[in-house]
Amino acid sequence: DTAVSQTPKYLVTQMGNDKSIKCEQNLGHDTMYWYKQDSKKFLKIMFSYNNKELIINETVPNRFSPKSPDKAHLNLHINSLELGDSAVYFCASSQLQGSSTQHFGDGTRLSIL
C-alpha cells in the first residue's frame, strides 16, 4: 500500500494551460506539504496544510492554489502555466506540523512546452 501517492506521475502541457496535481496519504497524518524540486535538485517548500488549514505559504505566485478537501488529501492547482514552472513537484506528509520526519510521494514531473 503506497503511503503517499500523487497523480499524475508525468504531466506535459503547453504554456498558459491550467493543470492540477492530486495527492493522498493513508498514514493518518495531520500535516501535508507541497515541495518543488528544480533541475539542480533543490527542494523548496511551497505550502503546508495542517488539518485542512493553510499553515505555510512560501513566496509562491498566486497562480498556485492548494486545496485540502480533508486531511488525507492535498491537491495543487496551477493556473496559466509558465516555462519556469517546469519541475518535479513532491507531496509529503508528517504526523505533526513542521516535523522533520516526513513521508514523500514519488513526485509529479511537470514539463511545460
Partner 1 sequence: LAKTTQPISMDSYEGQEVNITCSHNNIATNDYITWYQQFPSQGPRFIIQGYKTKVTNEVASLFIPADRKSSTLSLPRVSLSDTAVYYCLVGSLNTNAGKSTFGDGTTLTVKP
Q: Does residue number 66 form part of the binding site for partner 1 (CB under 8 A)?
A: no
Smallest distance from partner 1 to CB 56, Å? 6
Q: Does residue number 39 form part of the binding site for partner 1 (CB under 8 A)?
A: no
Which cell goes with 36?
Answer: 518543488
Instruction: With contacts defined by CB under 8 A, name the span among 13-21, 36-44, 61-69, 71-79 that binds partner 1.
Output: 36-44
Smallest distance from partner 1 to CB 88, Å? 9
In DSSP terms, which residues pair with 35 in a beta bridge? Answer: 45, 90
Do 77 and 63 contact (CB within 8 A), yes or no? no
Q: Does residue number 79 form part of the binding site for partner 1 (CB under 8 A)?
A: no
Instruction: With contacts defined by CB under 8 A, name the span among 12-20, 41-49, 65-73, 74-82 that binds partner 1.
Output: 41-49
> 101: how many CB neighbours lie within 10 A of its CB?
7
> 11: how many CB neighbours lie within 10 A of its CB?
19
> In angstroms, what CA-CA distances link 74 with 15, 60, 81?
24, 16, 19
* Residues at the contact surface with partner 1, assessed by CB under 8 A: 4, 35, 41-45, 48, 50, 56, 90, 92, 96-107
